[in-house]
Amino acid sequence: MEGGIGDVTHRLAAEMAAQGHTVSVFTREQAKEAGQPGIDVSPVVTGTWGWSTNSSIKAWAVEKQLNVVNVQFQTAAFNMNPSIHWLPDRLPDIPVVVTFHDLRVPYLFPKAGAMRKWIVRRFARQADGVITTNLEDESILRNEWHIRHVRRIPIGSSITPQLPSDYNRRLRRASLSIGADDLLIGYFGFLNHSKGGLTLMEALLQLIKQGVPAHVILIGGRQGVSDPTNADYAAQVDDFIRQHDLIDHVHWTGFIDNTEVSACFYDSDLVALPYVDGASLRRSTLMAALAHSRAIVTTIPQIEIPELTGAVETVLPEDASALAGAIYRLWHDKERVPALEDAAKLAAQQFAYDEIAHNTVDFFSELIR
């Protein structure tokens, strides 16, 4: 499946299987078989998720004799449909754990207002346990929503660093008409408003006006299939590129495999991830950039993240001038970039999937007991 949730789920399942557990995955029909012992994929959801899907999940859980059902939850991944929030009610005899990749509220209907927050909070309260990936969401779950069984377990990189056997950085860049002394800025992830792609394009325009031979490579799929608002945002980015004649400076890869993603990371001189809501450990795109030991410019997190101290350059969200300035300074600082790359490599070691899987299974076992 395209997107960080699919990649993270696959890596988590693979590590659990390697540790001797049997993992079953209930998902959309577009998903592919894992091709790995210990992982059983049921790609049965056709069309959109709905109320009948919960009945199918119940039948699947009983058939597989599951010890626990773990919902990898991100609102858009379920077509903004509220039905998944009632899954714990349909599985009274099997522990349900919800991994909240974010706490964004779903769209229900016009003027739903407070009901949107209520439905997510209810989901957390009805679940037997909740996993959060970051400090800011953990604070909400514990201190505002008063959820009892909460465990913070970070995600790791959605992409394993692995280059193609014939990798040649100079030739790859030349194929995009990018010279050895040009600046190539990497961006990874869908074009979603929260990820600040338009701010990056505005920063690119400023750099070019300053005489910098700058380019941006947009790594991966444009908009995915889950969040319908991504298409509108991608269209805004397209319009900006056309209006400001940036077509020759922006390079799209489309959806590509793991090794090609790694190659694009290493083709880049640095990576810009200007999240609107600040850097967060919930972002698999940030985890991937760290895993590839890239020099990263991102946005100031909402709360301090000790794991990122010294590993990234930060600027204010939605500030194209600040972003352009930080990129410009890094481009001219031949010592700072290697220092950031080394710091990113060290930071990434904190998010190894063997430890993530071990902690996840430990939480499951605790709830089952």
164 located within any domain = no
Structure tokens at 338: 């290697």
Q: How many CA atoms lie within 13 A of 243 on its CB side?
A: 9
Is there a single domain that holds both residue 197 and residue 338?
A: yes
Average pLDDT taken over every residue of the chain: 91
pLDDT tier at 368, thresholds 50, 70, 90: very high
CB 21 within 8 A of CB 68: no
Is there a single domain that holds both residue 126 and residue 260?
A: no
Q: How many CA atoms lie within 13 A of 149 on its CB side?
A: 21
Is there a single domain that holds both residue 36 and residue 51?
A: yes
Q: Which long-range contacts (CB under 8 A, 24 or more apart) does 80-84 make?
A: 80/106, 80/107, 80/108, 80/228, 81/48, 81/49, 81/50, 81/106, 82/106, 82/108, 82/119, 83/49, 83/50, 83/51, 83/53, 83/54, 84/49, 84/53, 84/54, 84/123
Of 208, 217, 212, residue with least CA distance to 172: 217
Across the strands, what pairs with 237?
Answer: none
Quick: pLDDT tens for 9-23: 988 999 999 999 999
Is there a single domain that holds both residue 60 and residue 145?
A: yes
Is there a single domain that holds both residue 306 and residue 296?
A: yes
- For residue 46, the tally of other CB atoms under 10 A from its CB is 9
Is there a single domain that holds both residue 131 and residue 224?
A: no
Is there a single domain that holds both residue 183 and residue 64?
A: no
Residue ranges of alpha helices (H) inside 210-335 are 229-243, 258-267, 284-291, 320-332
- Secondary element (H or E) of residue 365: helix 353-368
337 vs 294: CA distance, rounded Å: 8
Quick: pLDDT tens for 111-152: 555 677 888 899 999 999 999 999 889 999 999 999 999 999
100 located within any domain = yes
Q: What's the confidence (pLDDT) of residue 222?
A: 72
* Model confidence pTM above 0.85: no
Q: What's the confidence (pLDDT) of residue 109?
A: 47
Quick: pLDDT tens for 211-238: 999 999 999 887 555 556 678 888 999 9
Average pLDDT over residues 244-266: 94
31 located within any domain = yes
User: In this predicted model, which residue has the larger pLDDT, 264 or 257?
Assistant: 264
Q: What's the confidence (pLDDT) of residue 93?
A: 94
Q: What's the confidence (pLDDT) of residue 273?
A: 98
Residue 360 pLDDT > 50:
yes
Structure tokens at 213: 């031979």
CB 230 within 8 A of CB 200: no
161 located within any domain = no
302 located within any domain = yes
- For residue 19, the tally of other CB atoms under 10 A from its CB is 12
User: In this predicted model, which residue has the larger pLDDT, 366 or 194?
Assistant: 366
Q: Domain range spanning residue 216?
A: 169-351
Is there a single domain that holds both residue 305 and residue 193?
A: yes
215 vs 249: CA distance, rounded Å: 5
Q: Which of 106-115, 131-140, 327-336 has the lowest mean pLDDT?
A: 106-115
Average pLDDT over residues 200-205: 98
Of 280, 281, 320, 329, residue with least CA distance to 300: 280
Count of structural domains, the chain: 2
Quick: pLDDT tens for 45-99: 988 888 999 999 999 999 999 999 999 998 777 877 889 999 999 999 999 999 9
- For residue 28, the tally of other CB atoms under 10 A from its CB is 18
Q: How many helices (H) and strands (E) does the chain have?
A: 13, 12
Is there a single domain that holds both residue 203 and residue 312?
A: yes
Is there a single domain that holds both residue 146 and residue 292?
A: no
163 located within any domain = no
176: CATH: 3.40.50.2000
24 vs 192: CA distance, rounded Å: 30
- Please tell me whether residue 65 adopts helix, strand or coil conformation: coil
Is there a single domain that holds both residue 112 and residue 191?
A: no
174 located within any domain = yes
Is there a single domain that holds both residue 211 and residue 346?
A: yes
23 located within any domain = yes
